[in-house]
Amino acid sequence: MRKHVIAIDGPAASGKSTTARQVAQRLGFVHMNSGLFYRAITWASLRDGWSDDIERLREGVARLSILPIVEAGVLDVQVRGVRPGIALQGRDVSTRVSAVSATDFVRKRVLQLLRATAKEADVVCDGRDIGSVVFPDAHLKVFLVADVRERARRRLLDYQVEPSVEAIEEEAERLRARDDADSTRALAPLVKAAGAVEIDTTRLAPEAVIHRILELAGERGMRAPEG
Ligand code: DC
């Protein structure tokens, strides 16, 4: 039988990943955070100094060994035998990742990795183009949105930074720039996929968002295992 796919897309810091992880855990699916692959490639390119030149980036990506690892229901990524872990969430990677992920060869590589992983397990996959390009026939597509200031506030709390008015405004500016880059690029831009259910999380507690998605999944025949 075809494995199940739930696609969750949305802009930066809209809570996709936390939500996807929880939904996957409760359904017994694997959580695939597609951004991790883009971040892993960006991390390697920054380390090797081939992030700025498109031809060197192309060659570097072609040679790069990158491996999905599923552990305890969560996808992690191994780059050249190393698992960079938290280093993938750093500011330098976050600043550079939009440009790296806007290239066709990087997108092709990540698409192959995601599709290969989803052949092996039921997945909840989050990203920007999951419902539109990677898994257009997903069993459930969700598009998460939230006000940019609320997203900035949540991101600061993740970074354990006091969310003062000034800090929120500064972070919101960074998020707007990334949203703009991700939504206006020519290849697989961030869009609400055909058939996606939009959920605005600005005033919703994380549990309410998870509950709503589990409800939608249940309506489509995907339920938590008994017991
Ligand atoms: O979700 P994230 O912030 O970890 O994603 C990092 C970047 O990767 C994001 O700015 C755009 C890119 N990305 C993408 O282009 N397509 C995806 N499906 C997921 C991420």
Q: State the residue for tokens 């206006």.
A: 184
Would you state the pLDDT for residue 202?
95
Shortest-distance Cα residue to atom 1 of ligand 1: 35
- CA of 34 from ligand 1 middle (Å) equals 7
Name all domains of the chain by residue range, CATH numbers in brackets. Answer: 5-218 (3.40.50.300)
Q: Which atom of ligand 1 is nearest to the CA of 130?
A: 18
Task: Count CA within 13 A, CB hemisphere, residue 44.
Answer: 24
pLDDT at 62 over 90: yes
| pLDDT tens digit sequence for 87-100 | 999 989 988 998 99
| pLDDT tens digit sequence for 143-157 | 999 999 999 999 999
Best of 9, 97, 141, 176 to mutate for ligand 1, by most ligand atoms within 8 A of CB?
97
Q: Could you tell me the CA-to-CA distances from 120 to 32, 114, 216 in Å, in that order? A: 12, 10, 23
Shortest-distance Cα residue to atom 2 of ligand 1: 35
Alpha-carbon span 134 to 188, nearest angstrom: 9
For the chain, how big is the Rg over CA atoms in Å? 17
The edge-to-edge listing of strands for the beta sheet with 197-200 is 66-71, 74-79, 30-33, 123-127, 5-9, 140-145, 197-200
- CA of 35 from ligand 1 middle (Å) equals 4
- CA of 144 from ligand 1 middle (Å) equals 14
Would you state the pLDDT for residue 58?
96
Alpha-carbon span 95 to 42, nearest angstrom: 10
Eight-state DSSP code of residue 147: -
Alpha-carbon span 142 to 165, nearest angstrom: 30
Higher pLDDT, 11 or 182: 11
Would you state the pLDDT for residue 2?
81
pLDDT, the chain, mean: 94
- CA of 68 from ligand 1 middle (Å) equals 16
The tokens describing 181, both together, are: 């880059």
Alpha-carbon span 93 to 33, nearest angstrom: 16
Q: Output the CA angle 3-142-100, nearest 5 degrees.
A: 85
| pLDDT tens digit sequence for 172-226 | 999 999 899 888 888 888 999 999 999 999 999 999 999 999 999 999 999 888 7
pLDDT at 227 over 70: no
- CA of 226 from ligand 1 middle (Å) equals 34
Instruction: Specify the range with the lowest mean pLDDT, choosing from 7-16, 135-144, 181-190.
Output: 181-190
pTM for the model: 0.92
Task: Count CA within 13 A, CB hemisphere, residue 76.
Answer: 12
